[in-house]
């Protein structure tokens, strides 16, 4: 068939390009107001103007997006697919304008129309389809893939409701409200009603007698997966990648038979249950709950994504044994592990390949990233549930397991315990499928997310697998963050100062972050230091203004800003921080006014959500809020110490908080935080770090110099032994750490309201103290004292700040994604428009 239809020149002359002309920008915005939104100039509000501006920017992005997809199709390169149940994208408009290099033009155009771009940016709702670091990492990797011209697509779910909205009651309790982020329409997604796949659940699987391990799976429920595409523009490149999110829909609208028989509820029941699959993001971080709907989400998403990937591969006209030459699939944690038995099912039952051949393909396509060694996060699914929902996959898992365990037995004859540990099935009532083991044996390579964490993966949870497969199957890719959002976008003044100082256009250093090293020599330049400090100050004022307008508090911007923002979790030890605040408060109370005057004022900020069912985490929030209530009202101390819990932490709030911090806290019990990524964001913005020797803190210190970070606490090898001591030779807190005991007694005694309320929280420390708050408290307090001392010498502090930013090049997600591309996926950049 001839392409295009009709007269090619008519097509070509009517195709538009990216349009940076301010006149054309206003024209397109007005056109969207008038036609797409069906609104008029005289009653247009900021929301309407935002939507029109977004649609206009989207038109420009679509030009590049179309071009990119066509280019990739023509070049037919190997592609990588990032399967993640979470993509914590945040807002899009500002990021898109910066990456397209159209921000100043849109600013002008929107001004001419009587609006301000800054106001319109605030109208956008965050796309919050994730819980925390794992989801935000996925978003950074998409930005870097596009920016590095890599042919990478993301696959996820289009949850109708993202992470819940957090409200704080007057008593300090976290309340959860739904996040209806799609209610205002989402200009950034392209519904692809024509791209859809049927996904089966339940039913029967019958093995075929003739062997090969084949079977036929029939019956059950069939649900439709419909694609929604989200464009991912690269920074200063035409490459614009795709994030494909699946929505679940009933295969048929409703059951006409039931409807006709008068059973209206029955008629819509199946359609409701289909729609339920993508209705909401599970708000648990680091825990699994074994819920049926969650398993259905996982299968629905992996099945639709694989069907789509295979269809795209088949369009190349290649034979299936070349699949691994054209496709790499990255499993973001164990959540998409069902893709492994699903690909086996397709290759065996639909492609008619024999087992060994199919398994060879599978184990060359998948790559697996582990994101935590916390035991409560290791996914396991009850065998009866799996058998019920995915009967065919359960058979395949058993078959994989049998063959695998035979190989283990051959290598380690008679080692029954090893077999039990390595089995895909954990014995018990019920038996459970161990997803990490399945992901591990079904993948070509496995990596952790920071040096220490990757070592821990290899020596703890996957030790047996290292011994079986050899160490070369295991690697490390230290996480990264995109400097576009986490410097240029959130800290535009600093970005400008860096460009003018280095005399390098930002389009260059933003894509080669090691260029920041050039700032080192300016740390000795007094004028530069003054500018650097002034920007930090204005960012603090920007945050204070935000708090004033949203919460009504007046924040002391002459104080040191000390920030801890992350999910509430015992292992992250927000408890240590709040207990440290109380300790400081008690010290201030004990001082004379003259002594207090010598103290550097400090404002402590917390933000973060607790999983709705995580009692101790919620109680920690309650304690923080009530400590804040008391100390912020204390006339003796409030000029020296104040405390805020900022509700409803989000990507957008992080963008205001991070550039404003002088110091941030990353204080997990050693060996528990796999990497952390906000630590990188703070340091990139010239904030210093107080932390434990854990996760990526270690590598940050290696890069910026230990003299520029404040380390404290026990090291990873000591942790296990300390925990043992707590259980078998417990020492009361009063003896082990009198300073901490005093703090706990004040809380129990009612200094911050009814002490009884906090007993369960306080008791986690008094009894067992699994996260070693007692053991680390004194050295934590000493580290904070060193922070205070260092801050007194402001000139030295600013030097540290500059040297920190200057040495953060390694932590660009561009470095991380290129590492995946080269060491894992074997992928080449495919720049659009350069050949
Ligand atoms: C996490 C880790 O806890 C965190 O340290 C890491 O930075 C991110 C990204 O690799 O992954 N693992 C995890 O389950 N969540 C994380 O944030 N939710």
Note the pLDDT tens digit of each residue in 395-433. 999 999 999 999 999 999 999 999 999 999 999 999 999
CA 525–ligand 1 middle distance (angstroms): 38
Kindly report the protein residue whose alpha carbon is nearest to atom 11 of ligand 1. Answer: 134
pLDDT at res. 267: 72
* CATH class for the domain made up of 76-91+126-478: alpha beta
Whether 572 is catalytic is: yes
Whether 834 is catalytic is: no
Classify each residue of 40-49 as buried b or exposed e, where b means 16 or more C-beta atoms within 10 Å of its C-beta. eeeebeeebb
CA 786–ligand 1 middle distance (angstroms): 29
Ranges of residues in the chain whose predicted pLDDT is under 70: 1, 254-255
- For 807, which DSSP code? T
Cis peptide upstream of residue 4 (ω within 30 degrees of 0): yes
Q: Which of 160, 567, 666, 726 is catalytic?
A: 567
pLDDT at res. 624: 98
Whether 567 is catalytic is: yes
- For 460, which DSSP code? T
Given this chain, do its domains 76-91+126-478 and 525-808 carry the same CATH topology? yes
pLDDT at res. 76: 98
- Rounded to 10 deg, the angle between the 46-75 and 103-112 helix axes is 150
Q: Where do the structural domains in the chain lie, given as residue ranges?
A: 1-75+92-125, 76-91+126-478, 525-808
pLDDT at res. 264: 75
- Name the token pair of 538: 């204005």
Whether 9 is catalytic is: no
Helix (H) or strand (E) holding 82: strand 79-83
Q: Which of 449, 484, 480 is nearest to 655 (CA)?
A: 484
Give the side-chain half-sphere CA count within 13 A for 271.
13
Q: Three-state SS for 423?
A: coil
**CA-CA distance, 83 to 331, in Å (whole number)?**
5
Q: Three-state SS for 281?
A: coil
**CA-CA distance, 674 to 461, in Å (whole number)?**
13
**CA-CA distance, 668 to 549, in Å (whole number)?**
32
**CA-CA distance, 517 to 506, in Å (whole number)?**
14
pLDDT at res. 168: 98
- For 92, which DSSP code? -
For domain 525-808, give the CATH number.
3.40.50.2000
Choose the residue to mutate in 129, 675, 679, 813 for probing ligand 1, maximizing ligand atoms within 8 Å of C-beta. Answer: 675
* Chain segment 529-580, per-residue pLDDT in tens: 999 999 999 999 999 999 999 999 999 999 999 999 999 999 999 999 999 9
CA 459–ligand 1 middle distance (angstroms): 19
pLDDT at res. 612: 97
**CA-CA distance, 82 to 86, in Å (whole number)?**
11
Pocket (CB within 6 angstroms of ligand 1): 131-134, 137, 285-286, 371-372, 377, 449, 479, 673-677, 695
**CA-CA distance, 693 to 680, in Å (whole number)?**
15
Q: Which of 677, 764, 804, 805 is catalytic?
A: 677
Report the sign of the C-alpha dihedral through residues 822, 827, 828, 831, in that order. Answer: negative
CA 694–ligand 1 middle distance (angstroms): 13
Whether 566 is catalytic is: yes
Q: Which of 393, 445, 566, 618 is catalytic?
A: 566
CA 135–ligand 1 middle distance (angstroms): 8
- For 752, which DSSP code? T
């Amino acid at each position: 068939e001839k392409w295009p239809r009709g007269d090619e020149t008519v097509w070509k002359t009517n195709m538009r390009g990216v349009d940076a002309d301010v006149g054309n920008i206003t024209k397109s915005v007005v056109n969207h107001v008038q036609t797409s939104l069906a609104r008029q100039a005289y009653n247009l509000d900021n929301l309407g103007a935002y939507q029109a501006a977004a649609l206009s920017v989207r038109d420009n992005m679509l030009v590049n997006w179309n071009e990119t997809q066509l280019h990739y199709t023509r070049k037919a390169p190997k592609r990588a697919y990032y399967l993640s149940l979470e993509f914590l994208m945040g807002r899009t408009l500002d990021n898109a304008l910066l990456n397209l290099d159209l921000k100043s033009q849109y600013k002008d155009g929107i001004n001419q129309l009587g609006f301000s771009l800054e106001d319109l940016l605030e109208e956008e709702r965050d796309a919050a389809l994730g819980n925390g670091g794992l989801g935000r990492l996925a978003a950074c990797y998409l930005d870097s893939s596009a920016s590095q011209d890599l042919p990478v697509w993301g696959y996820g779910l289009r949850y109708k409701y993202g992470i819940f909205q957090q409200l704080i009651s007057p008593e300090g309790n976290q309340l959860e409200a739904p996040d209806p982020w799609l209610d205002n329409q989402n200009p950034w997604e392209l519904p692809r009603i024509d791209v859809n796949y049927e996904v089966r659940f339940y039913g029967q699987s019958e093995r075929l007698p003739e062997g090969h391990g084949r079977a036929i799976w029939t019956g059950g429920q069939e649900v439709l997966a419909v694609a929604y595409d989200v464009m991912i523009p690269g920074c200063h490149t035409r490459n614009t990648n795709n994030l494909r999110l699946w929505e679940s829909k009933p295969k048929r609208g409703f059951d006409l038979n039931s409807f006709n028989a008068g059973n209206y509820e029955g008629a819509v029941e199946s359609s409701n249950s289909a729609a339920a699959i993508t209705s909401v993001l599970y708000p648990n971080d680091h825990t699994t709950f074994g819920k049926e709907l969650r398993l259905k989400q996982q299968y629905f998403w992996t099945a639709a994504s694989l069907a789509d990937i295979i269809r795209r591969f088949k369009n190349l006209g290649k034979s299936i044994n070349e699949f691994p030459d054209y496709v790499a699939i990255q499993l973001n944690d164990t959540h998409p592990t069902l893709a492994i038995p699903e690909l086996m099912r397709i290759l065996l039952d639909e492609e008619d390949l024999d087992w060994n051949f199919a398994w060879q393909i599978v184990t060359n396509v998948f790559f697996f990233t582990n994101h935590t060694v916390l035991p409560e996060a290791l996914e396991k699914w009850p065998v009866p549930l799996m058998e019920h929902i995915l009967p065919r996959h359960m058979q395949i898992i058993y078959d994989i397991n049998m063959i695998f365990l035979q190989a283990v037995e051959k290598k380690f004859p008679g080692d029954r315990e090893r077999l039990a540990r390595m089995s895909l099935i954990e014995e018990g009532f019920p038996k459970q499928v161990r997803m990490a083991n399945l992901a591990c044996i079904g993948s070509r390579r496995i990596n952790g997310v920071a040096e220490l964490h990757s070592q821990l993966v290899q020596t703890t949870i996957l030790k047996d697998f290292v011994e079986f497969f050899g160490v070369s199957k295991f690697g490390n890719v230290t996480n990264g963050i995109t400097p576009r959002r986490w410097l240029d976008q959130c800290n535009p003044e600093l970005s400008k100062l860096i460009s003018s100082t280095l005399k390098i256009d930002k389009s260059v250093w933003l894509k080669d972050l090691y260029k920041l090293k050039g700032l080192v020599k300016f740390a000795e330049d007094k004028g530069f230091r003054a500018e650097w400090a002034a920007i930090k100050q204005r960012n603090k004022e920007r945050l204070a203004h935000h708090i004033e307008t949203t919460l009504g508090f007046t924040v002391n911007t002459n104080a040191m800003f000390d920030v801890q923002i992350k999910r509430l979790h015992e292992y992250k030890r927000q408890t240590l921080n709040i207990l440290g605040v109380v300790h400081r408060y008690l010290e201030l109370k004990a001082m004379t006014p003259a002594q207090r005057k010598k103290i550097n004022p400090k404002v402590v900020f917390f933000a973060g959500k607790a999983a709705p069912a995580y009692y101790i985490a919620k109680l920690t929030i309650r304690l923080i809020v009530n400590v804040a209530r008391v100390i912020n009202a204390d006339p003796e101390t409030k000029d020296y110490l104040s405390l805020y819990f900022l509700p409803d932490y989000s990507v957008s709030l992080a963008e205001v908080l991070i550039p404003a911090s002088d110091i941030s806290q990353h204080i997990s019990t050693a060996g528990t935080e796999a990497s952390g990524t906000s630590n990188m964001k703070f340091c990139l913005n010239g904030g210093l770090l107080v932390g434990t020797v854990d996760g990526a803190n270690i590598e940050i210190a290696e890069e910026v110099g230990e003299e520029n970070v404040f380390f404290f606490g026990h090291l990873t090898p000591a942790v296990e032994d300390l925990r043992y001591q707590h259980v078998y030779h417990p020492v009361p807190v009063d003896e082990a750490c009198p300073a901490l005991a005093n703090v706990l007694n004040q809380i129990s005694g009612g200094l911050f309201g009814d002490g009884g309320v906090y007993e369960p929280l306080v008791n986690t420390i008094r009894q067992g103290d699994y996260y070693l708050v007692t053991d680390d408290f004194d050295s934590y307090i000493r580290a904070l004292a060193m922070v205070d001392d260092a801050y007194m010498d402001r000139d030295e502090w600013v030097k540290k700040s500059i040297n920190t930013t200057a040495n953060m090049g390694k932590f660009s997600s561009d470095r991380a994604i290129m590492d995946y591309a080269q060491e894992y996926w074997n992928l080449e950049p495919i720049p659009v428009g350069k050949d």
